Amino acid sequence: MAPNQPLDPAPSLGIIGATGAVGRVVLQILPMRRHRWGRLRVAAGTEDVGSVLRIGDEEVTVEAVSAEFFDGIDVAIFDIPTGIAREWVELAAARGVVCIDNSTVFRTEPEVPLVVPEVNPHKVADRPRGIIANPGATVMTMIDVLAVLHGGWELTSLVVTTLQAASGLGRTGMARLHDELDVVHGDRELGTRPGDVRRLVEHELGLDSPFPAPLALNLVPFVGHHVGDGWTSEEVKVREETRKILDLPHLPVSATCVRVPVISSHSVTVHATFAQRIKVEDARQALVEAPDVVVLDDPDEPEFPTPNDVVGADPRFVGRIRQAPDAPTTLDLFVCGDNLRKGAALNMLQTAELVGRTL
C-alpha cells in the first residue's frame, strides 16, 4: 500500500464533474489530503468516460454518472451544470450520500446550509436533506475578510464591485478569452475606434460566446442574466449568499458584477460600513491574524494584491485598506482570490472533510 493510502474504515469520496475546470483543481489538491479518505471514485461527462486520471500515486478511471455510481459512497462533491445538478444531487442524497454541490441550485434553499469552513463550520451538521451547498466563487473571494471584520465591528451595510475572471465560466470561458486574445494580438490600433474590437472578434470567432460582449481589451459589466429592475442573477447571488453565510438576513448589500479579461482569480472592491468606529490599523491587525487571509498593503512601495499574483494560492489576499472620507465606521479595501481553488475546489474538499469526521 502506498504511504498516502488511507486505511479503512475511512469514509469514501465521489467526485462528479472531475474533468471540468473546478474538478481538475479538486484532483490537483486531493493528493495532499488523500489520507482522509478511503475509496475514491470519479465521474464525468460521456466524452471522458473510460479515461484514466492520475491523482498523486493513484490512477483512477473516469466512470459514467449513474445511480449505481453512488453505491458505497459516503460523501460526494458535485461540479456539474446547473441544468442537471438537482436531479443527480437529489438522487445521490436519497441513496444516503452526503452531497456537496457547487451549482447555484441549492444555495438559497432554507434547508440546505451554505458552508465556508473558516466562517460557519457548525452548519455542516444542519443538513436535513443530506445536501450542503458551496458558495459562489465571487462571495468566496471576500467572505473570510468580511467575517473577520464583522466579528470585531459588526457589519451593517456593504457595497461591492466584483471583477470576475473568465474562468468563472469554466473551460468555455477561458478558451473564449484565449481565442479573442489570439484575434486581437498585434494590432496596436485596436480599441481606438468605437466598436472595432467587437467587429473584429465577432467576424473572426462568430457570435457564439459565453460573454455578452467581447472580453479581450474590454470589460463586461453584466454577469449572469437579467432578473428584473436592472439587477443580474450574479448580483442577486452576491447579496443573498453573503447574507446567508454571515447570518445577516437583512444586511443591505449592493453589488455590481463585472467580467474582466483575466484568466483566473476574482477580485472585489469592498465598501463596508460597521456599527462601531473602525480604524485602519485595527482592521489590518485583525486581518493579519486571520489564518486564511494575507495582507498585502503598503501604499509607499506600492504593495497590493493582483489576480495574477494569487493564482494557485489558498488564502484570500487583501490590500488598499483605507478609511472612507469623513466616515469613521466605513472602510474601503480590495480583495483577490483564486476562484477555482479556494473559490470552489478547496472549499468543497474542506467541507467534505468536516462531514467525513462525523461519519
Q: How far is CA 237 from the centre of its chain?
A: 12
pLDDT at 155: 98
Residues of the chain where predicted confidence (pLDDT) is lower than 70:
1-8
Instruction: Print the SS3 string covering the chain.
Output: CCCCCCCCCCCCEEEECCCCHHHHHHHHHHHHHHHHCCCEEEECCHHHCCCEEEECCEEEEEECCCCHHHCCCCEEEECCCHHHHHHHHHHHHHCCCEEEECCCCCCCCCCCCECCCCCCHHHHHCCCCCEEECCCHHHHHHHHHHHHHHHHHCEEEEEEEEEECHHHHHHHHHHHHHHHHHHHCCCCCCCCCCCHHHHHHHHHHCCCCCCCCCCCCCCECCCCCEEECCEEHHHHHHHHHHHHHHCCCCCCEEEEEEECCCCCCEEEEEEEEECCCCCHHHHHHHHHHCCCEEECCECCCCECCCHHHHCCCCCEEEEEEEECCCCCCEEEEEEEECCCHHHHHHHHHHHHHHHHCCC
pLDDT at 8: 52
pLDDT at 9: 78
Distances (CA, A) of 261 to 2, 66, 189, 239, 310: 42, 37, 18, 24, 16
Query: Is residue 129 within 8 Å of 97, Cβ to Cβ?
Result: no
pLDDT at 359: 87
Q: Which residues of 16-40 are buried (b: 16+ CB within 10 A; e: fewer)?
A: bbbbbbbbbbbbbbbeebbeebbeb
- Going by C-alpha positions, the residue among 5, 316, 283 that lies closest to residue 155 is 283
pLDDT at 259: 98
Distances (CA, A) of 111 to 102, 116, 223, 311: 16, 16, 27, 34
Query: Domains of the chain by range and CATH?
Result: 13-135+344-356 (3.40.50.720), 139-339 (3.30.360.10)
Considering Cα of 69, then 57, then 24, then 53, what sign does the dihedral take? negative
Distance CA(250)–CA(247), nearest Å, equals: 9
pLDDT at 329: 98
Model's pTM, two decimal places?
A: 0.93
pLDDT at 186: 87
Q: pLDDT tens digits for 293-312?
A: 999 999 999 999 999 999 99
